[in-house]
Structure 1
Amino acid sequence: MPSTPRAAPSRRVRSADGTEIALYEYGDPSAPVLVCVHGYPDNARLWEPVAARLADHFHVVTYDVRGAGNSDHPRGRSAYRLERLEEDFTAVLDAVAPDRPVQLLAHDWGSIQAWQFVTSERLRGRIESFVSISGPSLDHAGYFFRSRRPRRDKFSQLAHSWYIFYFQLPWLPERGWRKGWAHRVFGKLERSAGGHAPADGERSLADYLNGLELYRANVLPRLLRPRPRRTDVPVLAVSPDGDAFVTTPLQTDVARWAPSLSVQVVRGGHWLPRNDPGLVARLTLEHTRRVAGWQV
């Protein structure tokens, strides 16, 4: 499949540590702001089909997470800690919505970091709603494995999470992406749930390599020493029933931490924004209308 030329960033913003983040904007700047955060190993191109469907309703803002796409690629594991990602998100908010709250839509590692945002005291009042797809809070996951849930739920999630432990290994994950065999393995997992691979050129090798530090900098510390992270933001947790990496119980058993929680289990695989952007757009519109109290 031929690659689609990528749009240039509409602007770049500077995070607290000097890292520059590339932003892409769609729709009327005076409309309600919807910020979309992609996961690993994607970049902001993941959201293009969703943004096209929502640009008549929102000022849609997507951005390349640090290490991906046209954003800066800082070196060093500590540069990819969740606290740094929160600083990036704050810089985006300061640029696109300095004086009003935003709606938040996130997938995979975008959703993992978005849980950091909606539970942050520093960002209280700046996020009005959150749609989470296939990405739990790492702290919530730490408590999940300590809970009294049936063992089968925990063992099922551990089986789905094998890749997390693989990504902790030195040099081997990098070699897998460089040589191509890791692409084949992960592509096969997605196709098994009816999904399809990204278009040629949609991702770069740097997207695959830099994003490994997200796992290495955050997963084990948060799982081993979880903190209670609560939010009053209305959350819609969307769980694809064919997700090869995240089970429904881990994604949706979070009412203890998010009392304004709605759950939607849908047909599909892990990369729902790519494989069914119309569904993602519809669920986002419905959730926003329900919780924000206005029509968009």
Structure 2
Amino acid sequence: MTPTTVNSQGISLQAYTLGDPKKTPVVLVHGYPDNHSVWQPVAQQLAKHYFVILYDVRGAGASQAPRAQADYRMKLLSADLLAVVDTLIPGRGFHLAGHDWGSIQSWESVTSEPLKSRILSYTTISGPCLDHMGHWMRERTLNLSASAKAKVFKQVLSSWYIGFFHLPVLAPSAWQGGLDKLWPQYLKHRENVAEPDANPTQGKDGKFGVQLYRANFRNKLINPEKRYANCPVQLIVPTRDNYVGTQLFEDLHLWVEELYRRDINANHWVPLSHPERIADWIHEFVSGVEKGTMSGALQHARVRPARSALPLNGKTAVVTGAGSGIGRATALR
């Protein structure tokens, strides 16, 4: 990999590239408590076909870690992505993929300018848009059906760690108290990652990364914005995800006009546990967008319209009634 230092509003970010710079760019954004290395097995496969860009988000890896909570707000994270692509592929369109918080923060860029018009496609893995999540929770909280309430309760149980991350001392201290040394074993036994590598910056990645939750969750969930994606979106859903419930994506068709959903029987850290499958799916999706013709498998994965209609970005989304307050599309996969 070729390293490049990028300046973003006074913050130093470390970016890395693989492959031929003349080829179509693909940008991969990592989550928490990771750094760019979580994408390395996937990136090495994609670099055979694309110019692959990775970077350590602020607070992680070799990138600078600001201490103020406000320095981890979503708009600044989106500005970091802009700085990376403007430095490495100025003026060019690119395909984007994110995992966990890399996916959560990338929704900001996918649904707003200045990057919205440059993002050619988006692959999202285990990282819902917080605004979409806010609307999802509001609809089901107001819904009187037992099934809607059960879905909210299930997600709250899965998201217990978010409350822990908001604790002022305990969460950062846990990483300094030995959690960083135990993390590879956690990935192996809990997440089925066969041979996780030790991460020399794991303590830093965990300590500062909790600010992502503190700076963004409360405002986004209480006052969610309407966020629509113009580009094709591939949703990869690990069905055994211990943190992000599959129910959080049942309304995504309301925000994405061209949506493809692919389920995988796996846990949360699929870039590490199933790198070849993830690389193949990203390649297949990017190739289809570039050619203007999707493969048979992706056509089968397209979220299909069904019965009744609801507005989508000034157009029409056709959905089924699912007893969830809004309803959901029928996904063929």
TM-score by length of 2: 0.81
Q: Verify the 8 A CA contact 2:41 2:272 in the aligned structure 1.
A: yes
In terms of mean alpha carbon deviation, does 201-210 or 228-237 score higher?
A: 201-210
The letter for the 2-side match of 1:161 is: S
Counterpart of 1:152 in structure 2 is 150
Q: Verify the 8 A CA contact 2:232 2:258 in the aligned structure 1.
A: yes
Instruction: Tell me, in whole angstroms, the C-alpha distance in 2 between the residues paired with 1:96 and 1:134.
Output: 27
Matched, 1:277 2:269: no
Q: Verify the 8 A CA contact 2:30 2:38 in the aligned structure 1.
A: yes
The correspondence of residues 18-57 of structure 1 with structure 2, limited to 5 A, is 18-57=10-49
Instruction: Tell me, in whole angstroms, the C-alpha distance in 1 between the residues paired with 2:128 and 2:277.
Output: 20
The letter for the 1-side match of 2:216 is: N
The correspondence of residues 1-296 of structure 1 with structure 2, limited to 5 A, is 10-15=3-8, 17-148=9-140, 150-180=148-178, 188=186, 191-196=189-194, 198-201=196-199, 203-293=201-291
Q: Verify the 8 A CA contact 2:19 2:48 in the aligned structure 1.
A: yes
Instruction: Tell me, in whole angstroms, the C-alpha distance in 1 between the residues paired with 2:216 and 2:81.
Output: 17
Instruction: Tell me, in whole angstroms, the C-alpha distance in 2 between the residues paired with 1:221 and 1:241.
Output: 28
Instruction: Tell me, in whole angstroms, the C-alpha distance in 2 between the residues paired with 1:83 and 1:114.
Output: 10
Q: Which structure would you say has the larger Rg?
A: 2
Q: How far is 1:274 from its partner? A: 0.8
Q: Verify the 8 A CA contact 2:13 2:63 in the aligned structure 1.
A: yes
Counterpart of 1:246 in 2: which secondary structure? coil
Q: How far is 1:182 from its partner? A: 8.1
Instruction: Tell me, in whole angstroms, the C-alpha distance in 1 between the residues paired with 2:284 and 2:178.
Output: 39
TM-score by length of 1: 0.91
Which structure 1 segments of 5+ residues have no match?
Answer: 1-6
Rate the CA distance shift 1:206–1:182 in 2: closer, same or farther, 3 A. Answer: closer
Counterpart of 1:3 in structure 2 is none
Counterpart of 1:11 in 2: which secondary structure? strand
Q: How far is 1:175 from its partner? A: 2.1
Counterpart of 1:150 in 2: which secondary structure? helix
CA RMSD of aligned residues (A): 2.0
In terms of mean alpha carbon deviation, does 95-104 or 187-196 score higher?
A: 187-196
Rate the CA distance shift 1:60–1:43 in 2: closer, same or farther, 3 A. Answer: same
Counterpart of 1:205 in 2: which secondary structure? helix
Which structure 2 segments of 5+ residues have no match?
Answer: 141-146, 294-333
The letter for the 2-side match of 1:240 is: P
Q: Verify the 8 A CA contact 1:136 1:251 in the aligned structure 2.
A: yes
Q: Between the two proteins, what is the percent identity of the paired residues? A: 38
Q: How far is 1:186 from its partner? A: 9.8
Q: How far is 1:124 from its partner? A: 2.6
Q: Verify the 8 A CA contact 2:187 2:196 in the aligned structure 1.
A: no
Rate the CA distance shift 1:114–1:75 in 2: closer, same or farther, 3 A. Answer: same
Q: How far is 1:202 from its partner? A: 5.1
CA offset digits 1:59-116 (Å, max 9, x no partner):
0000000111111111201110011111110011111222221000110000001111
